[in-house]
Amino acid sequence: MTNDTPHKGPASQRAGRAAGLLAAALLAFTPGLAAARCATENEQRAFEIEALKTELMVVATTCKGANEDRYNAFVRRYQPTLVSANQGVSSYYARRGGPRANDFFITELANARSNQARQLGSDYCSRNAGLFEEVMSLSGPQDLGPYAATKDLLSSGVSSCAAGGSSSPAAPARTAAKAKRK
Amino acid sequence: MNLLRGAGLAALVALTGCAAEGGLGGGHRTYYADLQGGARVCTVPPRVSLSNGSTTEVAMTVGNDGGWCGISVSRFGGPYDNGLLMQRPQHGRVHVRKVGSATRVDYYPDAGFRGTDSFVVKLNPGEASMKVNVTVQPGSAAAAAAPAPAAAPARR
């Protein structure tokens, strides 16, 4: 991350660096918890797309410059799919937990992505800005869900579907095949 | 081949069959964060060649200690543009990312799972698909939870 380092004394900076290293190590070695999977493939896809959008938003707001334009281009290109995913998540929380749970999820998601940005430090922008190239290289909106599913964005610090009481895992779905049939 | 934690960069070079350009330009950097957290036991073919428009089956054996097991693939010496998850694993997670000059397809087994799993990833351009048949063995979570000895950045 480039622009968010507060001014502190040397001791405080050393402590901060040590804490950052520890946090990075813990992040890197987080055990493979059972992924919170939604009850249906459509719900799972909606959550993953929402997480991808948040990740790209954090890249844009953290790294700024051309990344803000790239984020806008991403939103323009995939707007119908993004709107649909957002509606899917809202619909899920309308049935489980209500608007407060929805707000909690969005906040938690943004915090999780921001925490990763902080933990990666100066590597974050150069490493994650490449996501824009990847997402814009997709052949079309139908690939956005299957692409988002490869980014493992819901695994750390995000409760997603599981928080709402979904207990049955999503069936292993052939995501792209389903998407293309639409 | 066994990918041992702590020997991540060397193992990755061997796995991909090409040099990992740590810190070099050209858009193919290898980041420290992408080399951390590998499972102690991760057995995959040393080289995986994918064919455009067809599906290649690959076997993976991973010890379930909380770490990932990855298969590196490349296209003309560089990473693919993107990956799509065509079939989800039932007992784990998949993460496709660019690592150096390759695309690495990582699998994380769910905690406590042992048995078999599979997933399919399609890599573009070229629509080269890879079906990964995974065997998950028991592993010690404590092994992966312990941070690897990392070189601390120089401090004044």
Residue A21 has pLDDT above 50, yes or no: no
CA torsion sign, B42 to B45 to B47 to B51?
negative
What are the residue ranges spanned by the domains of chain A? Answer: 34-181
CATH architecture of B8-140: Sandwich (2.60)
Residue type (1 letter), A78: Y
pLDDT tens digits, B26-83: 458 899 999 999 999 999 998 899 999 999 999 999 999 999 999 999 999 999 999 9
Cα gap A135→B32, rounded to integer Å = 23
Q: Is A15 on the interface with B (CB under 8 A)?
A: no
State pLDDT tens for residues A119-168: 999 999 999 999 999 999 999 999 999 999 999 999 776 777 764 443 33
Count of all residues that appear for chain A in the document: 182
Residue B70 to residues A49, A85, B139, B147: CA-CA distances in angstroms? 23, 29, 16, 19
Judged by average pLDDT, the poorest of A27-36, A98-107, A116-125, A150-159 is A27-36
Looking at chain A, the whole-number percentage of residues with pLDDT higher than 70 is 68
Is the bond into B125 cis (omega within 30 degrees of 0)? yes
Pairing state of beta strands B128-138 and B55-64? parallel
- This model of the complex carries an ipTM of 0.78
CA B105 to chain centre: 5
Q: Residue ranges of the domains in chain B?
A: 8-140
pLDDT for the residue A160 = 75
In this predicted structure, the answer to whether residue B5 has a pLDDT above a threshold of 60 is: no
**Residue in A with minimal Cα distance to B88:** A172
- Residue B152 with chain A: CB contacts under 8 Å: 21
Please name the helix (run of DSSP H) or strand (run of DSSP E) that holds residue B97, with its range, or none.
strand B92-99
Among B93, B103, B106, B107, residue whose Cα is nearest residue B123 = B103
pLDDT attached to residue A9: 44
Chain B residues within an 8 Å CB radius of A180 = none
State residue A36's pLDDT score.
Answer: 57
